[in-house]
Amino acid sequence: MPLTRRRTIATLAAGSAALASGRSLARNGPVKVGAVLEFSGGLELFGQQARLGLELAAAEINAAGGILGRPVELLFEDNKTDPKTAVEKASRLIARDEVVAICGPITSSARDAMAPTMARGRTPLLYATNYEGGACDRYLFVFNTVPNQELARLLPYLARTRGSRFYCFGADYVWPQKMFAQAEKLVAGLGGTIVGKELTPFGVKEFAPVVRRIEASGADVLLFALPGADGITFIRQAEDLGLLKKLTVGFLGFSEAYLGAFGPGKGQDMYVAVPFVASAEATGPKEFVARIRARAGQDAVVSHYVMTHWLALTALARALEKVGRIDREAVVEGLEGLTLEAPTGPVTIGAKDHHVTLAMFLAKTQGDRLVTVEALGPIAPESGCG
Amino acid sequence: MAADPSWPLLLLDAASHVLTLLLVALGLAVTFGLMGVINLAHGGLVVLGAYTVFAVERAGLGFWAGLLAAPLLVGLVGLVLQILIVRRIQHRPLDTLVATWGVGLAIEQTIVLVFGAASHTVAPPFTTTVAIAGSSYPAYRLFVMAVALAATGFTLWLLLRTRLGLMVRGTVADRRLAAATGLPIRRLDAGTFAYGSGLAGLAGAVTAPLMSIDPQMGTGFLLPAFLAVLVAPFAGPLGTVAGAGLVGGTESFVSAVASPVAAQLVVLAGAVVLLRLAAGRRVGRER
């Protein structure tokens, strides 16, 4: 078949018509949002918490008529707690599924690995896990806390009520290191002292030597940043070896997912600062917990991860409605400077730093619950982004 | 820095660490050290032991029943594993490595499916403390140490002082000759592997009240246990006792005087040097 001008034009026209109809189909179909999360490989507990929040948000958005009349559809992908898999899943969601944004992941390593892919695909990543700060990009929004938001009020409270000699103990990676760097600044400002600082690799099963050293340091407060199962093992052994009777633990990165893991009557009176307390008496949190449990069962754990992931997707819907258009750039434009109502009060997304100012709560472990000690009000993030 | 903690306590902590490690490494000394099966499912078997105690206790039968059930159940799992998989590929070490790793993953994910991904706890059966060197030491830790010593003693007795042990050692030393003299080498293989697996189950069960029980807990056990078996200064389970002492003791003391990070570095670097120096000797004595 010879290539004539007429044929070429006809083919091009047909092609572009097909393309156009494809586009318009996408315009009337659901608003697709990806979620790349840890559903296996070690951190599935957090992945499941995130999923609860995202699913509730999607159901609520759709019950209220969707985003600009279009329903929202969540596409969940398991990153297997592996950065490389996270990147692969993100690429596919961006290229094949044409999502307007991606929620997740949980780990900083997966987030850092995904960041270049997100920027290249000009697709916003909505990250809703507490982390060390310093992740700054046009296509990255953070919906959970950075170190200063956890520490700014927790440390003065502990110094005032428990004593000003602090011992820092945590896992040997970036989040505890940034946490402790921030803590050192704050403790110096309070006139307190850091009597010891120590990091441990993951997978350690025997903490007796560390417990002895902390005990010998005469610390009043143990600032503790060892997440996950290792943290639980440490607290159990510290309890057995009598350390918890001699000092108070300030548990960094705590969430309700830990409750019950220490054993009945163990791990009591540990202090935390979190953006959400499930046992709170206020109407907002109470209703939020009830909404989650109506879907996920009456004994579902509702940690701040549920709330922050709910917040991320809800903010995305508000942002698109504000801009009045549904595409990836509209998500960025709409989220910058957005204020919305969370179960715990108003949340503001920084127009420049893309991190959130949100209400924080001083709380402690008591019985099998986390109970509020003091509502701290909104705390602005020191995100490390200009 | 304030005063150092007292030396008797540090020694006790180190002994506790060494003996716990020994308990985990003992099963590996049998399956890997003795039979030469690179058993990466060993960590998974330890986890299975811990979850057995958890499940039995949750069923209302109490801790002691769980402690008894764990080695039996995990031993049974080991037996099935040996007959279905290990026996068929035992002479291909690399395949064994991949296959047992896969089994380890399968065990881990099965646990996630049955018990969920969250951490669980088993309360120690007694919470009494003993006054040692001016500090109150949890009696349960002493019990774990006693169990480790008893299990090691029993294993050594079985191997070195019984007819069964003689047959096992004979099979390891020269399979063809052993088979020619009429030893039931297939059944000995299966039994030895099951025994090593049962020890893994016991290790998981008895240490369960000391730590968080979660599907991934096996990983933290596997590496030091392999190191203990690898750096064993001489062959046989007695060598593993020395290896566990070497790895656990170094780890505990460096951790006590420096930090856990330094401890891990020293142990790994030490293992590399030791293996490099002893490489020829090890290969020579393998078969």
Q: What is the pLDDT of residues A108-137, one digit of tens each?
A: 999 999 999 999 999 999 999 999 999 999
Fold category of A147-274 in CATH: Rossmann fold (3.40.50)
Residue type present at position A308: T
**Contact list, B244 vs chain A (CB under 8 Å):** none
Task: Go through B38-77 and write b for each residue having 16 or more CB atoms within 10 A of its CB, e for each that does not.
Answer: bbbbbbbbbbbbbbbbbbbbeeeeebeebbbbbbebbbeb
Does residue B216 sit at the A interface (CB-CB below 8 Å)?
yes
Q: Quickly name the fold that domain B7-286 has.
A: ABC transporter involved in vitamin B12 uptake, BtuC (1.10.3470)
User: What ipTM was assigned to the predicted interfaces of this complex?
Assistant: 0.85
What chain B residue is nearest to A235 in terms of C-alpha separation?
A: B211
Domain extents in chain B: 7-286
Residue A8: the pLDDT is 56
Of B20, B121, B251, the CB nearest to A261: B121
- A residues 211-230 lying closer than 8 A (beta carbon) to B: 212-213, 215-218, 228-230
Q: In this structure, what token pair is assigned to residue A152?
A: 């700014």
Residues in CB range of A204: below 8 A, 6 or more apart: A230, A233, B220, B260, B264
Contact criterion met (CB < 8 Å) for B3 and A216: yes
**Residues A207-230, mean pLDDT to the nearest whole number:** 93
Amino acid letter for position A215: E
Domain boundaries, chain A: 29-145+281-358, 147-274
Has this prediction a pTM greater than 0.80?
A: yes
Judged against a pLDDT cut of 60, whether residue A13 lies above it is answered with no
Q: What is the pLDDT of residue B284?
A: 39
Identify the closest residue of chain A to B123 by CA–CA distance.
A263
Mutate to test the interface with B, among A37, A81, A206 (most CBs of B within 10 A): A206
Query: Average pLDDT over chain A, rounded to whole?
Result: 92
Using a CB-CB cut-off of 8 Å, the residues of chain A touching B221 are: 205
Spell out which residues of chain B touch residue A46, defining contact as CB-CB under 8 Å: none
What percent of chain B stands above pLDDT 90?
Answer: 57
Q: Are both A29-145+281-358 and A147-274 of the same fold?
A: yes
Higher-pLDDT residue of A1 and A229 is A229
The model's pLDDT over A66-104, given as tens digits with 9 standing for 90+, comes to: 999 999 999 999 999 899 999 999 999 999 999 999 999
Q: Do A212 and B5 touch (CB under 8 A)?
A: yes
- Helices within chain B (DSSP H only): 7-28, 42-58, 63-81, 87-89, 93-115, 139-161, 163-173, 175-180, 185-207, 217-230, 237-257, 260-286
Find the DSSP H helices in chain A. 5-28, 44-63, 83-95, 108-120, 147-162, 174-189, 208-216, 228-240, 283-296, 304-323, 328-335
pLDDT at A17 over 70: no
Query: Looking at the predicted structure, is the pLDDT value of residue A371 above 80?
Result: yes
Q: Does B8 touch chain A (CB under 8 A)?
A: no
Pick the CATH number of A29-145+281-358 from 3.40.50.1370, 3.30.1540.10, 3.40.50.2300, 3.40.50.1100: 3.40.50.2300
What is the predicted pLDDT for the residue at A5? 57
**Phi, psi of B51, deg, nearest 5:** -70, -30
Closest-CA distance, B144 to chain A, in angstroms, reads: 13
For residue B41, what are the contacts with CB-CB under 8 A and spacing of at least 6?
B81, B100, B101, B103, B104, B107
Which chain B residues are Cβ-neighbours of A204 within 8 angstroms?
Answer: 220, 260, 264
* B6, B109, B212, best to mutate vs chain A, most A CBs in 10 Å: B212
Residue A8's contacts (CB-CB under 8 Å, 6 or more residues apart) are: none
- All residues of chain A having their beta carbon less than 8 Å from the beta carbon of residue B15 are none
Window from A21-35, A157-171, A189-203, B154-168 with minimum mean pLDDT: A21-35
Q: Which residue has the higher pLDDT, A176 or B118?
A: A176
Residues of chain B with pLDDT under 50: 1-3, 282-287
Give the pLDDT confidence score for residue B287 in this predicted structure: 38
Q: Which residues are bridge partners to A170 per DSSP? A: A199, A225
Whether A22 has a pLDDT exceeding 80, the answer reads no
pLDDT for the residue numbered A14? 52
Residue B204 to residue A113: CA distance in whole angstroms: 35
| Cβ contacts from A onto B, under 8 A | 118
A39 → chain B, closest CA residue: B117
> What's residue A12's pLDDT?
54
Which chain A positions have a beta carbon within 8 Å of B251's beta carbon? 206
A339 contact partners, CB below 8 Å, separation of at least 6: A346, A347, A348, A349
Quote the CA–CA distance of A311 and A318 in Å, as a whole number.
Answer: 10
